[in-house]
Copies of this chain bind each other. A is one copy, B any other.
Amino acid sequence: MDCKPIGTVHTPFETTGEAPKQGIHEAATGVVELDPAYRAGLDGFDGDRVVVVWWADRADRSVLTLDRDESRGVFTSRSPARPNPICVTTCGVDEVDTDAGRLYVRGVDMADDSPVLDLKVPVDVRTDL
């Protein structure tokens, strides 16, 4: 399955090690910047939260058990190190610039310049989709 990045997320965290474990506990802000080809996908966005699906491009994909406890598998965690390093972070939305394809968000936990694969509304936002 070939995933194409739809954009990039800019955050204050230069490395994976600097990034917090879960953005939801943090106030750090960042910007999701969509590539021009995908900007139309943001039209009409008016939610106050967004689910950012991103790719932990610096993560070790070979691990199946946790470093700190080898009796536990990676699927019992949210560590980015996993066979498919797809991470899911729900962020608050401060501002949307649909023309520029930019979402200004709060609660980021991505390393700077991580590729973004998808944006969604949270499941608890009532939609008919």
Tell me the residues in window 59-95 of chain A with beta carbons closer than 8 Å to chain B beta carbons: 64-66, 69, 71-79, 82-84, 86, 88, 90
- Are B129 and A78 in touch, CB under 8 angstroms? yes
Kindly report how many copies of this chain are found in the complex they form together: 2
In the complex with contacts A88-B88, A123-B90, A77-B42 CB distance below 8 A: no
A-side interface residues, number (CB < 8 Å):
52
**Chain B residues, CB < 8 A from A22:** 123
In this complex, the member of A5, A24, A46, A83 whose beta carbon has the largest number of chain B beta carbons within 10 angstroms is A83
Is A110 interfacial (CB-CB < 8 Å)? no
Pairs A-B, 5 closest by C-beta atoms: A44-B72, A41-B73, A75-B119, A43-B73, A1-B3
13 pairs, CB–CB < 8 Å, chain A vs chain B: A1-B4, A3-B3, A6-B84, A22-B123, A41-B64, A41-B75, A41-B83, A42-B76, A44-B71, A44-B76, A78-B129, A83-B118, A86-B118
